A and B are shown apart, each in its own frame.
Chain A
Amino acid sequence: MTKVKTATPQEVGAGDSLYELMLILSPDLRESEIKKKLKELTDMIEKADGRVVTEDFWGRRNLAYRLKRHNEGIYMVYNLELPGAFLKELKQHLRIEKEVLRSMIIKLPAGHAYTKYDLDAPVELKERKEKPKKYSTKNENISIKHNAPIIAPKKKAEEVKEETEEVKEEMSAEEPEKKEKAGKDKKAEPKREEKEIDESELDKKLDAIIGGEDFNL
């Protein structure tokens, strides 16, 4: 894409110093027109006792931002040896030129060698090492958490016990024999079913008390 032409080393004219000229030409130009434009420029430079050291044609490039309603530009870079008096004239000429979108002239340090950069190559970055995830997001682990034992029902059973005992004590005053029978039955049966059985037994006892001959209201 880019071509670098290096001029044969010649004796540098006294008082001349190295400059770098970068041009952005409008992308509407054809190739023949570009060559014509650039040749005009180099002729103008050589007329003014300047010398083209290197020339580097970058070609079409996307601009970082819009320039005079153009998204693209044609880049050209020169390294020149120019007499100081001609510099102002050259700047003026480039400013007036319609096809030149932008231009810049820089003074280079003495003994500067032109280096070419491949700008379109991607920037190398270090690859990130992916760390293993600490917690797996599978559903299995979540379901285990929900199956944790529940403590609440035990308390209920204890409360029920106390209630039943109180009732028994009341009953014991009147009919001690029945109480003993009920107590034996409870021990044999499992704890959870206590409440239901008690209710049914209590009903029976109450009926017996109310329906009994000895009971008087």
Chain B
Amino acid sequence: MSVIFSTNQKHSLGKRRCAFCTNQMKYIDYKDIRTLKYFIDGFQRIKPRYYSGVCLRHQKALSGAIKRAREMALIPFVNKYVNK
């Protein structure tokens, strides 16, 4: 199953759609790092909703999944090269 995650940046505000709603994903898995990485900053911070266009319901699930992935050392908390 190939899931398409387009960046909503080029669309106007009215036309933005949640990436999880369009793909009909009910459960956001913390093990699926590849999709989570679309919603993470260069500084490894969770992207705000106004950048990614994710709806509130999925943003909450997404942030939970990212935090779980961080806890299990799949995703770093901080970009280690920035601090040095």
The residues of A with any CB-CB pair to B shorter than 8 Å are 22, 24, 63-65, 67, 73, 77, 102, 104, 106, 109, 112, 115, 117, 119, 121, 123
Contact = CB atoms under 8 A, between A and B. Distances in A.
B11 interface: no
Contact of B71 (A77, A104, A121): A104
Interface of B: 26-27, 29-34, 37, 68, 70-77, 80
Question: Does more than half of chain B's interface fall in helix, strand or loop, or is it mixed?
Answer: loop
Residue with the highest number of chain B CB atoms closer than 10 Å, among A63, A64, A73, A106: A64
In this complex, the member of B26, B72, B75 whose beta carbon has the largest number of chain A beta carbons within 10 angstroms is B72
A63 B76 CA distance: 8
A22 B70 CA distance: 13
A46 B33 CA distance: 31
24 contacts: A22-B31, A22-B72, A64-B70, A64-B73, A64-B75, A65-B73, A65-B77, A65-B80, A77-B31, A102-B71, A102-B72, A102-B73, A104-B68, A104-B72, A106-B30, A106-B68, A109-B27, A112-B27, A115-B32, A117-B31, A117-B33, A119-B33, A119-B34, A119-B74
A107 B78 CA distance: 27
The 3 closest A-B pairs by CB, nearest first: A64-B76, A63-B73, A64-B73
A73 B73 contact: yes
